[in-house]
């Protein structure tokens, strides 16, 4: 067990010893359990208790969430892994984001790299999402802008204001951009919509519906 993981467990124990009631996340009067990251990139914070609210502070290395139905607030982190199911995760900025499990709700200001391998989850990035890979089914992603996006799974959606290259290798996906430089579609039965600007379009799959403002 890592030192930071022990601190998270100790914080929960301190609540109980102090006579504070820990109620489920989202309940009226819920108190977030405070966990302090010490800034070491090699340390891992483990979030394991189901149905509770956590508030992390400091600069975090790796944060791994294996709980179900937890509410987690995270400042800057090197890596965040979201497992379990039904978690709500808010991050300021993160280097690598991995979303697994199912029914996750993740929001952040910016991400260097995101991998969405779970299902029926949502990821909202208000700013820049540099690199995105979606392998799981039925996920929803939104971003201010993307540099490279890959949709490898089925039935997912991606919406952004600005994008450079988006590749849809899976089937039955949907993307919508205001501006997109290049879209490559080797998959089948996908939909792509680009409202403005010129877009380079390369389609080799079947049954795709591609609508861009103007082809480059």
Give dist(CA 69, CA 17) in Å, integer.
24
Residue 18: pLDDT over 60: no
Give exposure, 71-95, as e/b (b: 16+ Cβ within 10 Å): bbbbbbbbbbbbbbbbbbbbbebbb
Higher model confidence: residue 9 or residue 37? 37
Span 189-206, pLDDT tens digits: 999 999 999 999 999 999
Mean pLDDT, rounded, for 113-132: 98
Give dist(CA 191, CA 74) in Å, integer.
34
Question: What pLDDT does residue 28 have?
Answer: 44
Model-level pTM?
Answer: 0.88
In the Cβ-directed half-sphere of 96, how many Cα atoms lie within 13 Å? 10
Going by pLDDT thresholds of 50, 70 and 90, the confidence category of residue 31 is confident
């Amino acid at each position: 067990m890592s030192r930071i993981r022990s601190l998270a467990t100790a914080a929960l124990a301190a609540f109980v010893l102090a006579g504070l009631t820990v109620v489920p996340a989202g309940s009226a009067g819920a108190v977030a359990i405070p966990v302090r990251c010490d800034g070491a990139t090699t340390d891992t914070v483990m979030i394991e208790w189901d149905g509770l609210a956590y508030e992390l502070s400091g600069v975090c290395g790796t944060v791994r969430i294996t709980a179900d139905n937890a509410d987690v607030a995270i400042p800057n982190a090197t890596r965040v892994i979201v497992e379990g199911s039904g978690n709500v995760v808010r991050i300021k900025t993160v280097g690598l984001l991995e979303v697994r499990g199912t029914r996750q709700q993740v929001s952040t200001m910016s991400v260097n790299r995101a991998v969405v391998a779970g299902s029926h989850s949502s990821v909202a990035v208000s700013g820049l999402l540099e690199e995105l890979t979606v392998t799981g089914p039925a996920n929803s992603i939104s971003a201010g802008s993307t540099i490279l996006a890959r949709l490898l799974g089925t039935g997912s959606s991606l919406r952004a204001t600005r994008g450079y290259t988006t590749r849809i290798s899976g089937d039955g996906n949907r993307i919508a951009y205001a501006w997109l430089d290049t879209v490559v579609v080797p998959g089948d039965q996908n939909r792509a919509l680009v409202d403005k600007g010129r877009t380079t379009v390369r389609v080799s799959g079947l049954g795709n519906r591609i609508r861009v403002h103007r082809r480059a």
